[in-house]
Structure 1
Amino acid sequence: MSRGRGRTRLPPAVLAVRGAAGALAVAGLAHTLWHGLHQPGLALAFGVLITVGELARWGALPGEREPAPIGAAGALAYALLGRSGGEPTSHGALQVIAVLVAAQLVAAVPHVARGSGPTADQVARRIVIVSFAAVCFQPLHNSGRSAVWFGDGPYFALFLLVLLVLTALCDAVLGALLLRSGTAFPYGPLLRDELRALLGIGSAVCATGAVMALGVSVAGLWALPVLCVPLLLTQVSFRRFVAVRTTYRQTITSLARSTEIAGYTPHGHARRVAMLCTAVGRELGLSGAELTVLEYAALMHDIGQLSLVDPVPDGATAPLPAAEQRRIA
């Protein structure tokens, strides 16, 4: 990224995504303020669900794609909602966008106060993806075409499944594009990482969103808290997993610094080697999990020098005898 007049110039792709999200947010809020809320009870229930999901987001962890799964599932469910308790709904795509934006603004207040929360790219990405799902579904539902074409049976569920697959693919393409705009990494491996993430938390979010929409259409708003429980339990379990991974990463980093503290290697050597290896791995097309293993191996590549009686000059083991090199390795 280049700099001009003391400010960082954003890549065109990032500007396009943020601009599209901003335009959608303004259009949704303006339309809703002008025409009022349709079925305000439904809007309030889903708005509260999205807000709670955003407030319960976990901290950013390298390799994780969805830090607020409950909020994402709630937003998708509202975008794909056609009935509530057997009665047809009347909200449109613009009201879905307005409820999502309002919920994100409310949830952002405590996050901003703590100096954390989602980035502008994450917010823009969520707005664009939910808008895509809402624009694909709500006009068909409100015009009655979805009922004529798919009815209320298995074909309708298959229609929702196809929409969710398209939404997930759009999310993966958009996520890889935003990552590519901020780095020099090739687009292909980034897209492959995003597609692999769909098999994990991405599939859980999409499935929960579809089940919420179908459950509310039959049982009403009582289905929301019941259907949120599995994803909530998954999120609690994942928080523990994140804590374990964070502790493991901190342990690796501390061990890597031990050779620097003991004077065997120059200061920051392990981190510089890890950054270089990760960049080379990106260029070679390695996936996220493979890059993590490569980074850990690079951080620990000099740990064997602690077995030496005296440090070698500048930590360079190449001049040592082959037997000594094997012992260190």
Structure 2
Amino acid sequence: MLVAVRCGAGLLAVVSVAATVRTGPAERPVALAFGLLVALGEVTRWRGPQLREPAPLGAAGALAYALLGEVSGQPTHHGPAQVVTVVSVASLLGGVPHIARGTSPTLDHLARRVLTAGFAAVCFQPLYNRGALDTWVGPAYALLLVALLALTALWDAVLAAALAHARTRWPFAPLLRDELRALAGIGSAVCATGAVMALAVAVAGLWALPVFCVPLLLTQASFRRYAAVRATYRQTIASLARATEIAGYTPAGHARRVAALSLAVGRDLGLAEAELTVLEYAALMHDIGQLSLVDPVPAGATAGLPGEEQRRIALLGGAVVRQTGVDRRVAAVVERQADPFPEQPRAARIVRVVNAWEEKARDAGPGGALAALEELRLGAAGDYAPDVVEALARVLARGGLTFPPTG
């Protein structure tokens, strides 16, 4: 899938550039203006966990050019090939500063940009150039652009989910669900700005472009600040989780390893992003109840303790988490991680299974990972959720059955 998408985008770009060079670009000032807009969007691109579209200004500019039919009341004559050419060249030029800094855009990002712009242009430009949309005026024309943008956004979400599935082998359906949910955030702002730009340029000309760039740039800055706050929040939780390691109650890196593996298992089981966030925080803080113990558990291995003692430590941990002001759902997962699995929320089941596997495999040598997994399978009927154990097995099989590092 990855190779097919990348090769398809590359082939589309090459063919489009060749066709545009052969016929000559139409409305060169317009093409240059939108090319600069897309390039500026790529220059200001960024990466953040809360923003799936790293270059919203570039995306909006590409969509606006793909759906552009008039400039200052005069019809345009560029076709899908020129749209793909302008977007491809501008995206590559906008990526030059990032390449110089060693943070070049990924091939998947560029492929999605080219294929999405091409999809929108193919849906709109042939119909407009043949005069099929001449009777669509006023609100009807605006609604048509919105409908085409919604269809393009759906195509982009499917493409993004397919690429993520090919890279990670995570289930496609949850990935697509998360992509569609993300459209309610920056995705809706990108689509709305693209539609408004196309309509505004049709009436007011190219002067409308800088005017409608400002709101999207402000939105991008807001998302960036929000992502920075979330990153700081996660770092705070990670620091709290390290308290058990610093105090000598748990081995170094244990919480981090359990959190990383829990996230992989959660993705395999199809958890939504909001659930994954709760799962990660709970996995990081799952051992914090040990700070209330007078005598540390040897190596912090709570999986081998009697059930009542495990539940007592879990309840202590939940109480500590509630005092920190972290989301109540995180505290609920922490305090219920030792309950019988039929009564546990799904996140608590995952934390319990992953924690037990990590403890059993940690010091057992190269063959300990397989032995620990088989031990969990034998205990799945009473102590561990069978579906979580099998999800853990799939994750380990994809990543290789190696025992986790102790440092």
Of 85, 91, 102, the match for 1:115: 102
Residue aligning to 1:275? 260
Q: Is the 8 A contact 2:71 2:203 kept in 1?
A: yes
Give distance in 2, aligned partners of 1:183 and 1:82: 40
Per-residue deviation at 1:78?
A: 0.3
Residue aligning to 1:185? 170
Report which of the two structures shows the higher radius of gyration computed on alpha carbons.
2
Of 27, 48, 71, the match for 2:36: 48
Answer with 260-269 or 89-98: which moved more. 260-269
Give distance in 1, aligned partners of 2:317 and 2:129: 70
Residue aligning to 1:164? 149
Matches within 5 A, 1:195-274: 195-274=180-259
Residue aligning to 1:77? 64
2:15 matches 1:27: yes
What do you get for the CA RMSD once the two structures are aligned? 1.6
Q: Deviations over 1:200-239 (max 9, x none)?
A: 1111101110010000000001111111111111111122
Answer with 278-287 or 33-42: which moved more. 278-287
Q: Is the 8 A contact 1:97 1:131 kept in 2?
A: yes
Q: Is the 8 A contact 2:13 2:84 kept in 1?
A: yes
Structure 1 counterpart of 2:62, one-letter code: A
Q: Deviations over 1:141-186 (max 9, x none)?
A: 1111121xx4322221121111111101111111111111111311
Residue aligning to 1:66? 53
Structure 2 counterpart of 1:268, one-letter code: G
Matches within 5 A, 1:134-145: 134-145=121-132
Normalised to the residue count of structure 1, the TM-score between the two structures is 0.91
SS in 1 for 2:115: helix
Residue aligning to 2:79? 92
Structure 2: where are the runs of 5+ without partners? 319-407
SS in 2 for 1:115: coil
Moved segments of 4+, more than 6 Å: none
Residue aligning to 1:146? 133
Q: Is the 8 A contact 1:28 1:97 kept in 2?
A: yes
Give distance in 1, aligned partners of 2:40 and 2:316: 55
Q: Is the 8 A contact 1:84 1:221 kept in 2?
A: yes
Residue aligning to 2:290? 305
Give distance in 1, aligned partners of 2:221 and 2:70: 30
Q: Is the 8 A contact 1:63 1:288 kept in 2?
A: no
Q: Is the 8 A contact 2:259 2:284 kept in 1?
A: yes
SS in 1 for 2:242: helix
Paired residue total: 314
Residue aligning to 1:327? 316
Per-residue deviation at 1:278?
A: 1.7
Q: Is the 8 A contact 1:259 1:306 kept in 2?
A: yes
SS in 1 for 2:207: helix
Give distance in 2, aligned partners of 1:292 and 1:117: 27
Give distance in 2, aligned partners of 1:223 and 1:304: 58
Answer with 268-277 or 303-312: which moved more. 303-312
Give distance in 1, aligned partners of 2:295 and 2:32: 68
Normalised to the residue count of structure 2, the TM-score between the two structures is 0.74
Q: Percent identity?
A: 65
Give distance in 2, aligned partners of 1:169 and 1:138: 19
Residue aligning to 2:348? none
